[in-house]
Structures are given as structure tokens and as C-alpha cells.
Structure 1
Amino acid sequence: MRILIVEDDSNVRSFLQNAMKALRRSVKIETATNGADGLKMARRQEYDLIITDYHMPKLTGLDLTFTLRQEGCTIPIVVVSADPDTETDAIVAGSSLFLHKPVSLENLRYMLDMFGL
């Protein structure tokens, strides 16, 4: 299983990486620190799941999600944000799931089980 984590906050990015590895030992994780780099990576490599922050420099998680969906990407994309007002926008843009920050290990376990990963 391959996961792309797009998150500009190094602490959150590190937590997500470590949590995913704890939940699924064989997972391969790649990261990007902004939406523009995340978009480039998603276009070049196939992933089973993309987890993206909503608020980021260069390209927001909303823009990343919308662009990938417009390009025909059908894999699960999970948007995370501390701002609950962004949930509806994320779902409308095509996210498969919205998680509120701080994200817990239980939220991530639920997400992986939900997508059969």
C-alpha cells in the first residue's frame, strides 16, 4: 500500500507518517510539504490513498482534491483541517472523507478500515 501525505506542518506530517506505519507495517509513505508538490507527485505515482491538509502554501488541499478529481483520479482523498467550516467545501471538491485536527490514531484506523486498506 502506498500513501501520499501532503502536509506543511512538520509535526502533523511526522505524526501521520508514524501512525500509518504503526497501523499498517508494510505501508510505503511519501510526503509533500505543499499542495503544488503533492499534485506533481500524485500525477507521477499511483497511490492507494492521499491525505492532505486543507490550508497549505502554493495550493490548498481543496484545490489539490478538486484538480485530481477533475483529472479523473478515483482513489480516496482525505482532507484534514482544524477549521470545521472547511468540511463542506472539502466534500464538495471531491474528498472521500474529512477528518478534524487533531487527528487521532482511532480516526486513522477507522479511515483505513473504511477504505479497505
Structure 2
Amino acid sequence: MRILIIEDDSNVRSFLQNAMKALRRGVKIETAANGADGLKMARRQWYDLIITDYHMPKMSGFDVTLALRQDGYTMPIVVVSADPDTEADALMAGASLFLHKPVSLENLRYMLDMMGL
């Protein structure tokens, strides 16, 4: 399984990366520190799952999700944010799921199980 994590906060990015490795053995994870770089990576390489922050420099997770959906990408995209007001927008842009920060290991396990990953 290949996962792309797009997150500008290095601590959160590291947590998500380590958590996903702990939950799924053999997972291949790539990361991007902003939405613009993440979008480029998603367009170059297929991922089984994308996890993106909502608020980021250069390009938001909303914009990344919307761009990928408009391009016809169908992989699950999970948007995370500490701002509960962004949930409806993220889902409207095409996010498969919205998780509230702080994200827990249990939230991630549930997400993976729910998506069959």
C-alpha cells in the first residue's frame, strides 16, 4: 500500500507517518510539506490513500482534494483539521473522510478498517 501524507506541521507529519507504519506493515509512505508539492506528487504517482491537512501554505487541502477529483482521481482522500468549520467544505470538495485534529491512533485504525485498507 502506498500513502501520501500532505502536512505542513513536521510534528503532525511525523506522527501520521509513524502511526501508519505501525498500523500497516510494509506500507510505503511519502510526504509533502505543502499542498502544491503534494498535488504534484499525487499527479505523478498513484497512491492508495492520501491524507492531507486542510490549512497549509501554497495550497490548501481543500484545493488539493478539489483538483484531484476534477482530474478524475478516485483514491480515498482524508482531510484532517483542527478547525471544525472546514469539514463541510472538505467533504464538498470530494474528501472521502474528515478527521478532527488531534488525530489519534484509534482514529487512524478506524479509518483504515472502514476503507478496507
SS in structure 1 of the partner of residue 11 of structure 2? helix
What is the DSSP-based 3-state SS (H/G/I as helix, E as strand, rest coil) of the residue aligned with 1:30? strand
Q: Residue type matched to 2:68 in 1? A: L
Q: Provide the TM-score with structure 2 as the length reference.
A: 0.99
1:49 paired to 2:70:
no
Number of positions where the alignment pairs a residue of Structure 1 with one of Structure 2: 117
Q: State the match for 1:27 in structure 2.
A: 27
Partners in 2 of 1:27 and 1:116 — Cα distance? 14
- Quote the residue 2:16 is aligned against: 16
Aligned to 1:90: 90
Aligned-residue sequence identity (percent) comes to 85
CA RMSD of superposed structures (Å): 0.3
TM-score, length of structure 1 as denominator length = 0.99
Structure 2 gap ranges (5+) = none
Paired position in structure 2 for 1:102: 102
Instruction: Kindly state the Cα deviation for residue 25 of structure 1 after the two structures are TM-superposed.
Output: 1.4
- Match of 2:61, as an amino acid? G
Q: Which runs of 5+ in 1 are unaligned?
A: none
Equivalent AA in structure 1 for residue 93 of structure 2: A
Runs of 4+ more than 2 Å apart: none
The equivalent of 1:81 in structure 2 is 81
Q: Which residue of 2 aligns with 1:60?
A: 60
- 1:103, distance to aligned residue in structure 2 (A): 0.1
Q: Write the deviation string for residues 7-45 of structure 1: whole angstroms up to 9, x where unpaired.
A: 000000000000000000110000000000000000000
